[in-house]
Amino acid sequence: MLVRSGSGRDLRFHTVGNDSGHFMTWLFSLYWLGALAAAAPLLFHMWRRMPRGERPFSTLMFLTPSPPRITSRSRVEHWLLMLLRAAALALLAFAFTRPLWRASVTEPDEAANEQQLAILVDTSASMRRTGVWDQLLSLLDERLEKVPQQTTVTLYRFDRSFEPVVDFDELRMMDPSARRGLVRARLKELKPSWEGTRLGEGLIRTATRLQEVQTERAKPIVQRIWLASDLQSGAEVVALQGYEWPENLPVELLRVQPANPSNAGLQLVEKNPELAEDPLRVRITNSGDSTLDQFRLKWDTPTSPEIVVYVPPGQSRILTPPPLPAGTTSSSLLLTGDDQDFDNRVYIAESLPETRLVVYCGEESANAVEGGRFYLDRLFAASQRLRIELREPSDFNRASADAQPSLIVVTTPQPDVQPLLRQHLEKGRTVLIVSPTPEATLASLKLCGREGITVTEASVDKYAMLGEIDYSHPVFAPFAESQFSDFTGIRFWKHRSIGGLRTADRPEGGGGNEKIESAPADRILARFDDSDPAIVELSVGRGKVIVFASGWQPADSQFARSSKFPMLIFRLLEHSNGIIPRAGSQGVGSPIAWPVTSREESSGTGIVRLPDGTELNSLPVDQPFEQTQVPGIYDLSVPGRIEQIAVNLAAEESRTVPLTQEQLESFGLKMKGGERPNEQQVQRQRQRQLQLVEMEHSQKLWQQILLAVIGVLLLETFLTGLFGAKRPAAA
């Protein structure tokens, strides 16, 4: 066979095989049927007939009739003309067959059959179902036996993350004969994890890697992907929607399924410590192809009562777990009656009430309805998650490291609290100023160390409302959703106008005061509908001073009696402490933020106790803890504080009904069926045909044949004119 090398117009061919010599062939042999048209001249020469019918002409009545001479039909008058015309038709048919010269071949060059195969293996939690992983290893081992040795095989794995197991860079440094053995050995070392399934990201990363290798080659090579997975419908494939899949990169599915498709999953729905009763809710889901519908829920303790739950296939139920017996503790719930138990356990972290200290600097009594403290006392007393103590400045020991305030609220400024305010701000905490008069607001700002701000009483026509809110600030971030962002129900009867702020586009001060100009800009968190600032955040040292232009007491507004008041106050408390609210459960593989200690002493390291009891010491607390590859209870400890965090399996892993090939094709994937036994032979024949097309395009013998056809027709035309001129002379 002739094999092409080079590119563009620089075409070179070499012979593969032991045979020698060249012979002519053609691409389209059916056009030889056109050579039958060469018989047409012979038929025309032999076809002679008298004209039918006579029409008399008056001008010819005096002439003697001379009928045409009739010759035999088997007689050919001009053999040369007939042969030339037949040759022209035969040459024309020969040109349409696209002839070419090629060499004798036996087998194609192995280099021409080189391919690249990327095996993408799903190692997510759903692959832990009974028999699925063993079936996958057996299927891959069987399929690898049929892959030709000249095919380069790479191996990748994915779950929540993507990881190259055997990549092209590693194979380049190895002997070709040892590459396949490395792939088999690494494949046996793989195990399914507990993480979720990011199928779309895994496919995109694999395709990107293959395209990078393709660009490094001078000549394109055939590439393909094997996707070995159970293709459970809970896999995340949304990443494929914005990705244009390469046209020349087919994906072949190696689907594995358990013998029994039934599966039910248990997930944590809600664990709200703010609720005094029934704080825990769980959900039981049953797959659509399940054959079971009755399950039992209990705590992981021998004395726990059970709840029988009926869940039809394809549906789910939300319920409250059974109560724990007195004197027993348990950190996990169990679901029984299911054939697949990989997702039948959910872990529950114990929530201990935390103590927070809030200092209230004001003259009103706790029972005065017209004051602001009355509403804070009732709000903090109703909290179930936090144990909040509201004290006056003289009721606690300022020197105690364990009794530092989390938030200081100032309504009436008192000169003796200035050291407390300055010390509180230097620790990076927050001071909230809600003074009823402009004079009290200015005095409170002065105690905090902030001057140059003007505060006057605003003129309010009937009432004011909040017209603009900065939802990007952590205090207002929980209100960003449309169902929580409506503040129009709050009326402000009066408020103060705050001026002289150091905004980003207009720094306060002038005259070369470099200290003021280089200080952080003030931030307006909310404005009234008359454009006056309603809530302002000022930077003072390491801390923050938040100023309310209007109070929440009834004389100033309806704020204390609105549904937004509790959430806003708790967000201020969390923002001052740097507390990160935690969800009831985190997914496997998600990073965990370290607890925030309220002690003055701080440490740069922490301790983590893993679910199996192993302790990891001296871990940096300036970055999240990321080694959460196993579900269970994780204990994170920093000086002065210990937190338990429950890490559970992703709820999507319980959706085990498989995706269809049509669903994947809808995202643009080029799917391919399984290989046929004779696929290699078909591929070689296709390569032969492509090489013949390239050789014919290079030789272009049909152009020379067309020139010969034109020459024959010119000669036939000349002879026809010559014979026609002799006939009248002879007559």
Q: Is the pLDDT of residue 440 over 80?
A: yes
HSE, side-chain direction, 13 A CA sphere, residue 176: 6
- Is 217 in a helix, a strand, or coil? coil
Distances (CA, A) of 153 to 156, 165, 207, 387, 593: 10, 11, 14, 61, 40
Contact 237, 199 (CB under 8 A): yes
Q: What is the mean pLDDT of residues 429-442?
A: 91
For residue 169, what is the DSSP state? H
For residue 277, what is the DSSP state? S
Please report the pLDDT score of residue 49 as a whole number: 53
Q: Is the pLDDT of residue 225 over 60?
A: yes
How many CB atoms within 10 Å of residue 673?
A: 9
pLDDT classification of 597: cutoffs 50, 70, 90: low
Q: What is the mean pLDDT of residues 110-115?
A: 61
Please report the pLDDT score of residue 53 as a whole number: 63
Q: What is the pLDDT of residues 669-682, one digit of tens each?
A: 888 764 444 555 66
- Is 17 in a helix, a strand, or coil? coil
Neighbouring-strand partners of residue 280: 271
Tokens of 356: 């927070």
Q: Under 8 Å CB-to-CB from 351, ≥6 apart: which residues?
A: 271, 273, 385, 644
Q: Mean pLDDT highest for which of 517-521, 601-605, 714-718?
A: 714-718
How many CB atoms within 10 Å of residue 263?
A: 27
Distances (CA, A) of 27 to 10, 59, 696: 22, 62, 8
Contact 458, 520 (CB under 8 A): no
Q: Is the pLDDT of residue 668 over 50?
A: yes
Q: Where are the alpha helices (DSSP H) in 549-677?
A: 564-577, 661-665
Q: What is the mean pLDDT of residues 585-589?
A: 87
Mean pLDDT of the chain: 81
Q: Is the pLDDT of residue 95 over 60?
A: yes
Residue with tokens 């303790």: 301
Please report the pLDDT score of residue 276 as a whole number: 46
Please report the pLDDT score of residue 673 as a whole number: 60
Q: What is the mean pLDDT of residues 687-713?
A: 77
pLDDT classification of 1: cutoffs 50, 70, 90: very low
Range 684-701 burial, b when 16+ CB lie within 10 A, else e: eeebbeebbebbbeebeb
Q: Is 582 exposed, middle or buried (0-12, 13-18, 19+ CB in 10 A)?
A: middle
Q: Is the pLDDT of residue 540 over 60?
A: yes
- Is 408 in a helix, a strand, or coil? strand
Please report the pLDDT score of residue 684 as a whole number: 66
Q: What is the pLDDT of residues 462-477, one digit of tens each?
A: 899 998 999 999 889 8
Tokens of 317: 């139920």
Please report the pLDDT score of residue 503 as a whole number: 73
Please report the pLDDT score of residue 682 as a whole number: 64
Q: Under 8 Å CB-to-CB from 27, ≥6 apart: which residues?
A: 97, 98, 100, 692, 693, 696
pLDDT classification of 226: cutoffs 50, 70, 90: very high
Contact 346, 359 (CB under 8 A): no
pLDDT classification of 688: cutoffs 50, 70, 90: confident
Q: Is the pLDDT of residue 727 over 70?
A: no
Contact 361, 410 (CB under 8 A): yes
Q: Where are the alpha helices (DSSP H) in 65-158?
A: 79-96, 132-145
pLDDT classification of 13: cutoffs 50, 70, 90: very low
How large a percentage of the chain has pLDDT more than 90?
A: 36
Q: Is the pLDDT of residue 515 over 60?
A: no
Please report the pLDDT score of residue 367 as a whole number: 82
Q: Is the pLDDT of residue 580 over 80?
A: no
Residue with tokens 């004079």: 439
- Amino acid, single-letter form, for residue 282: V
Question: % helix / strand / coil in the chain, to the nearest 5?
Answer: 30, 25, 45
Q: Is the pLDDT of residue 11 over 50?
A: no
Range 139-153 burial, b when 16+ CB lie within 10 A, else e: ebeebbeebeeebbb
Contact 650, 587 (CB under 8 A): yes
Q: Please state, in angstroms and rounded to a whole number, the distance separating the CA atoms of residues 550 and 547.
A: 9
Q: Under 8 Å CB-to-CB from 666, ≥6 apart: which residues?
A: none
pLDDT classification of 579: cutoffs 50, 70, 90: low
Phi-psi region of 509 (alpha: psi -120 to 50; beta: other; left: phi over 0): left
**Polymer length of the chain:** 731
Q: Please state, in angstroms and rounded to a whole number, the distance separating the CA atoms of residues 584 and 271.
A: 5
115 compared with 581, residue with greater pLDDT:
115
Which is it for strands 294-299 and 496-499: parallel, antiparallel or unpaired? unpaired
Q: What is the mean pLDDT of residues 107-127?
A: 78
Kindly report the pTM of this predicted structure: 0.64
Please report the pLDDT score of residue 315 as a whole number: 93
How large a percentage of the chain has pLDDT more than 70?
A: 80
How many CB atoms within 10 Å of residue 184?
A: 15
Domains contained in the chain, CATH given: 2-48+72-108+689-730 (no CATH), 110-257+658-688 (3.40.50.410), 354-576 (3.40.50.880), 586-652 (2.60.40)
Q: Please state, in angstroms and rounded to a whole number, the distance separating the CA atoms of residues 569 and 575.
A: 10
Please report the pLDDT score of residue 426 as a whole number: 86
- Is 43 in a helix, a strand, or coil? helix
Q: Is the pLDDT of residue 87 over 90?
A: no
Q: Is the pLDDT of residue 729 over 60?
A: no
Q: What is the pLDDT of residues 232-249, one digit of tens each?
A: 999 999 999 889 999 889
Q: Please state, in angstroms and rounded to a whole number, the distance separating the CA atoms of residues 446 and 433.
A: 11
Q: What is the mean pLDDT of residues 50-56?
A: 63
Q: What is the mean pLDDT of residues 433-443?
A: 91
> Shortest CA distance to 589 belongs to which of 1, 11, 123?
123
pLDDT classification of 451: cutoffs 50, 70, 90: confident
Q: Please state, in angstroms and rounded to a whole number, the distance separating the CA atoms of residues 127 and 121.
A: 10
Please report the pLDDT score of residue 209 as a whole number: 94
End-to-end C-alpha distance for the chain, whole angstroms? 63
Q: Please state, in angstroms and rounded to a whole number, the distance separating the CA atoms of residues 297 and 284.
A: 9
Please report the pLDDT score of residue 345 as a whole number: 94
Q: Please state, in angstroms and rounded to a whole number, the distance separating the CA atoms of residues 381 and 378.
A: 5
Q: What is the pLDDT of residues 275-311, one digit of tens each?
A: 445 568 899 999 988 999 999 999 999 889 999 999 9
Strands (E), 159-234: 162-166, 222-229
